[in-house]
Amino acid sequence: MVPRRSALGTSLAAGLLVCVTGCGAADGGVRTEGPAPTRVPWTGPVYVLNWESEPAERPGLMDLTDYTTLDWMRWRGWGSPRATATGFVMDYSCTSDCPGDALPSYRVEIVLSGLVKRQYAAYYSHAAVTPVHRPAPAWAEDVSSVPLRVPKP
C-alpha cells in the first residue's frame, strides 16, 4: 500500500516552495538597495570616574590621581569620543619644591577619550593633560597619560 499525502501536507509544501523561491531577485540572486546601515550614536549618559571611582558628568572639579586635582574645567564635546576641557591642575605631589606658600597649580587642557559603553551608560577610560604654557612645572606629577577606572561589565 502506498501512503497518500494529505491535502494539508501538499498545501503546506506548495506554500513553502512559493515562499522560498520568492525571496530572490528576478535574476535569481539577492538584490540590495540603499546605503549600508550606519553606526547608531550613543544616546545614554556619559560619565568619568575620578580617582576614588565616583562618577561625574562634565565635572568642574575632579580628583584625577591621589595627588592631582583638576579644577575650573570648561567642557566641549562631552559624550563624543573625545571630550576636551581647559582648566587648572592643582598638584599636591610637591613636598619641598612647591612654589612659595601658594597652592601649586598651572593651566592645562584636558582630553578624555576611550569611551567604553556599559549597559545603561558610557565612561571615558583615558585622560591626557597638557600644560597650556609648556613645559609642566618641575614639581608637578606627570599626568600626560592617565588610565581611568571604568565599571566592570
Q: Out of 55-59, 103-107, 136-140, which region has the weakest mean confidence (pLDDT)?
A: 136-140
With contact defined as beta carbons under 8 Å apart, do 92 and 70 qualify? no
- What pLDDT does 72 receive? 96
Model pTM greater than 0.75? Answer: no
Residue ranges covered by each domain of the chain: 46-147
Which pLDDT score, from 0 to 100, does residue 54 have? 94
pLDDT the model gives residue 109: 96
What's the grid cell of residue 15?
506554500
Q: Which residues contact 63 (CB under 8 A, 6 or more apart)?
A: 50, 51, 52, 69, 70
26 pLDDT band, cuts 50/70/90, is low
What is the per-residue pLDDT across 39-89, written as a single tens digit (0 to 9) for each? 556 678 999 999 999 999 999 999 999 989 999 999 999 999 999 999 999
d(CA 92, CA 81): 30
